[in-house]
Structure 1
Amino acid sequence: MSLTDAVLSGAAPDELARAELPERFTAAHLRVEDEGVFADAADKDVRRTLHVGEVPMPDIAPDEVLVAVMASSVNYNTVWSAKFEPLSTFRFLRSYARQGGWAARHDQPFHVLGSDGSGVVVRVGSGVRRWRVGDHVVVSPAHVDDQEPATQTDGMLSEAQLAWGFETNYGGLAQYAVARASQLVPKPPHLSWEEAASIPVCGGTAYRMLVSDRGARMKQGDIVLIWGASGGLGAYAAQLVRNGGGIAVGVVGSEAKEAIARKVGCQVVINRAEIGIGDDTGDDPELAIKAGKRLGAIVRREVGEDPHIVFEHVGRATFGISVFVVRRGGVVVTCGSSTGYHHTFDNRYLWMKLKRIVGSHIANLQEMTEFARLFEQGSIVPVVSRVYPLADVGEATRLVQLNQHVGKVGVLCLAPEPGLGVTAPELRARIGEETLTPLRSVSAAAAG
């Protein structure tokens, strides 16, 4: 029996260990010869560079595992990779490979993408202690060096920290993936494969940004302004604010997405059109201040106070507004810049009003584990809105590129259909199917 057949049949761990490992597997990947394909193209359509086909199976290092990936999901870093922006994805792989040893495997003429994944451990390296063949896992995207001193304090402070499937090869948008044992988290047993795969990047990132003592340190009663509250990051952020006793104020880009934001926990939802901002606002601090005044007036009208925290990941188009609108002594916590990395803001509103900007990136293993635990309590639920087969990963990523999605866009890898992988049906029934699928009924209208 092949390993793939064994996984799909639910074979016991000893059968999985005996099954024949394939020499090649299907994966979503980029090719080095496509690096210059876009040149000065106005529309860098990711469907032109995302290929789905066979790649060779790598060996695993002593501290690694091979995971049969049942499902993954699309993140914005896959868009960046497929556009070869801001740097070529192959530059990351060459840089990592220069460490030598096992890292050299990553410098290939292809790059298997994907920073999310859920699946079954099918091989373990000789140095792996806590995981066994047959374990159901979620893969954290934080690829860290556990022998570096800084990692013992916080893996995200490691100089060698890399984003799995973005800065490393053999990521999660594939039938098989290679991950370090230090990336694994037990899969919540009541979730399907695609629901579990939606957790790591967006959910873990939102948890560190808001809840961790390394982020904004949100407390009960805090007013949190969430940009993009209907997207993957925003939808998890809104739930964390609600669950933590805060007041979530979401900003979205359409009337249809307002329903999504309310569904996931925003008490107040503001349409970007109400404050008159577009993608060009970030270039002019004066325009940002004017938009910030309009936004601040709406927030005070609705909740009576300025935000304690601004959850910022949009970047250039909104960052100046975020710095202006957060209250005196408040925090802008930022993890990304989907509209551009170069931010312009009036620094007087930062230094004279004692505001803080906190940079945040993914989550360490403890934070990721703490966040996953909230799912089993029923406190947080998945935010999957649509699911694509691996063969259609280009279409799924294009949807994210154009911001036509809501929540998380799932990708089935080895799983033949959605809804599989639930091993605790009683817990799922207790939480409730409708509770666990908040975006399924409203996502189609919002995406349109």
Structure 2
Amino acid sequence: MDALAEAVIEGAPPGELERAAVPYEYTAAHLRKDEVEIFGDAADRDVRRSLRVGAVPMPELAPDEVLIATMASAVDHHTLAAATFAPRPSFAALEELGREGGFEQRHDQPFHAVGSDAAGVVVRVGSAVRRWNVGDHVVVAGAWVDSQEPATHADGMLSGEQRIWGAQTNYGGLGHYSLARADQLLPKAPHLTWEEAASSTLCASTAYRMLVGERGARVKQGDIVLIWGAAGGIGSFAVQLVRNAGGIAVGVVSGADKARRVAELGCDVVIDRTELGLDESGLGAAELGRRLGRVIRSEVGEDPHIAFDATGEATFGISVYVVRRGGVVVTCGSGSGAWHTFDNRYLWMNLKRVIGSHAANYQEAWECNRLLTLGRLSPVLSRTYPLAEVGEAARLLQDNAHLGKVGVLCLAPREGLGVTDPALRERIGEAKLRPFHAGALTG
């Protein structure tokens, strides 16, 4: 390990961090451009084959960027998409970014250091950075935008140059160091460990924009919200946001153990999709929607106001069917596939709406991070792997055998480090902060 990394781990003051030399290379989880055809026609694009852990060159720092000593990160569906090289290799996005010239040329490399979550310590700041300093404890918001594009100043997610950091840019969070723009940084919640903080930012802020932000569904008191994948990273934060807003969360999960955990998280109604037969082939969205609608009405007496759908192809038609007249389907991600089909009569004749949502702009990420800092949102970390085993962590997500978020320790030598406000942590309580922790799934 290099001297700068050692100084960070030892908690050295800013002056000492500034004096320690930045290494010429560092360890990161990365993909190789010469392996984009590694899977061929294989049905199982096992990410353990494509995710490498090894040395990559340290990039030059741009004036508006910071270099972070990454203490912890997490795996997510953006990492999966990059590591499967499908539907489009991430190297195509890096090549496009590189053609913009200037500092963006650094991203077009024969390797792709991935990861869209990170928590760590700022160790260098670019000459144009004003609000962040060496030694700051930070997390990274996942949206990477062009601050010189006019649309960015209305909503960063409408920017034509908007990208997901670490998936469509290089030097992401799954490594000993990561490179981020200053307008991606958020202060780390002081009562959280490195791995808890790292695992929360991307999924929590994505759910926040979908449900709470002014461009999302705008959940309010009494709203019934159907949440597909309520035991996953985005879904488990959606459960908490609906609860905080005074809504009624109806979560759909797969398996009895997931159902129990989501109920303990505060979901008002939990439906096991396997018991209800929502995975049966040959049945149309209307029939599946009728099954689901009957259960929801029997439990809460009404149809949902909102369907929170990050699942996509397998559920979208049901979502359109099952929300009430005038209801809203808010969608992102499409983990089960991006080709959505639905009967448009249920949409247009019942005046329903579909809202497309993607990640979160900087203000939304900041507001969501405030909720985490106040203890109004809890991390949903279930398991943590060392960086050397990042392939196994990602495979767990790929197999949908995970609960909540799966974390990865980068420079942090063990779990439980990084808490700088133990009194707040004690007031909130370990049970609330670790609702999914150390749980092997049995359902």
Do both share a fold (TM > 0.5)? Answer: yes
Pick from 311, 316, 323 the counterpart of residue 314 of structure 1.
Answer: 311
RMSD of aligned residue pairs (Cα, Å): 1.1
Q: Secondary structure at the match of 1:445?
A: coil
Counterpart of 1:91 in structure 2 is 92
Comparing 265-274 with 317-326, which one deviates more in the overlay? Answer: 265-274
Q: What is the CA distance between 1:7 and its match in structure 2?
A: 0.4
Counterpart of 1:288 in structure 2 is 285
- Paired residue type of 1:343: H
- Paired residue type of 1:109: P
Counterpart of 1:4 in structure 2 is 5
Counterpart check, 1:445 vs 2:406: no
Counterpart of 1:208 in structure 2 is 209
Q: 1:242-261, aligned counterparts within 5 Å?
A: 242-261=243-262
- Paired residue type of 1:371: C
Counterpart of 2:185 in structure 1 is 184
Counterpart of 1:377 in structure 2 is 374
Output one character per residue of 1:226-254: Cα deviation in whole Å (capped at 9) or x when no partner.
Answer: 00101111110000000110000000011
User: Identity, % of aligned pairs?
Assistant: 62
In 1, Cα distance between equivalents of 2:293 and 2:127: 56
In 2, Cα distance between equivalents of 1:275 and 1:213: 34
Q: What is the CA distance between 1:275 and its match in structure 2?
A: 3.1
Q: 1:153-168, aligned counterparts within 5 Å?
A: 153-168=154-169
Q: What is the CA distance between 1:274 and its match in structure 2?
A: 3.4
In 2, Cα distance between equivalents of 1:424 and 1:73: 23
- How many correspondences in the alignment? 442
TM, length-normalised to structure 2: 0.98
- Paired residue type of 1:16: L
In 2, Cα distance between equivalents of 1:277 and 1:250: 13
Counterpart of 2:424 in structure 1 is 427
Q: What is the CA distance between 1:444 and its match in structure 2?
A: 1.3
In 2, Cα distance between equivalents of 1:249 and 1:380: 18
Counterpart of 2:66 in structure 1 is 65
Pick from 330, 333, 337 the counterpart of residue 333 of structure 1.
Answer: 330
In 2, Cα distance between equivalents of 1:274 and 1:309: 23
Counterpart of 2:340 in structure 1 is 343
Whether the 8 Å CA contact 2:64–2:126 is kept in 1: the answer is yes
Q: Secondary structure at the match of 1:131?
A: coil
In 1, Cα distance between equivalents of 2:269 and 2:214: 26
Q: What is the CA distance between 1:261 and its match in structure 2?
A: 1.1
In 2, Cα distance between equivalents of 1:109 and 1:220: 50
In 2, Cα distance between equivalents of 1:195 and 1:332: 30
Output one character per residue of 1:145-182: Cα deviation in whole Å (capped at 9) or x when no partner.
Answer: 11111111111111111000000000000000000000
Q: What is the CA distance between 1:60 and its match in structure 2?
A: 0.9
Output one character per residue of 1:234-281: Cα deviation in whole Å (capped at 9) or x when no partner.
Answer: 110000000110000000011111012112221100011233222x85
Q: What is the CA distance between 1:375 and its match in structure 2?
A: 1.9
Q: Secondary structure at the match of 2:73?
A: strand
In 1, Cα distance between equivalents of 2:357 and 2:198: 21
Counterpart of 1:262 in structure 2 is 263
In 2, Cα distance between equivalents of 1:229 and 1:364: 23
Q: Secondary structure at the match of 1:146?
A: coil
Q: Secondary structure at the match of 1:47?
A: coil
Output one character per residue of 1:175-205: Cα deviation in whole Å (capped at 9) or x when no partner.
Answer: 0000000000000000000000012211000
- Paired residue type of 2:436: L
Counterpart of 1:133 in structure 2 is 134
Counterpart of 1:230 in structure 2 is 231
In 2, Cα distance between equivalents of 1:379 and 1:88: 38
Counterpart of 2:33 in structure 1 is 32
Counterpart check, 1:13 vs 2:14: yes
Whether the 8 Å CA contact 2:250–2:270 is kept in 1: the answer is yes
Whether the 8 Å CA contact 2:61–2:67 is kept in 1: the answer is yes
In 2, Cα distance between equivalents of 1:43 and 1:152: 41
Counterpart check, 1:368 vs 2:365: yes
In 2, Cα distance between equivalents of 1:352 and 1:265: 34
Q: Structure 1 segments of 4 or more deviating over 4 A?
A: none
Output one character per residue of 1:43-75: Cα deviation in whole Å (capped at 9) or x when no partner.
Answer: 111101100000010011000000000000010
Structure 1 residue runs without a partner (length 5+): none
Q: What is the CA distance between 1:97 and its match in structure 2?
A: 0.8
In 1, Cα distance between equivalents of 2:22 and 2:38: 35
In 1, Cα distance between equivalents of 2:261 and 2:94: 37
- Paired residue type of 1:411: V
Counterpart of 2:146 in structure 1 is 145
Counterpart of 1:44 in structure 2 is 45
In 2, Cα distance between equivalents of 1:200 and 1:147: 24
TM, length-normalised to structure 1: 0.97
Counterpart of 1:399 in structure 2 is 396
In 1, Cα distance between equivalents of 2:373 and 2:50: 38
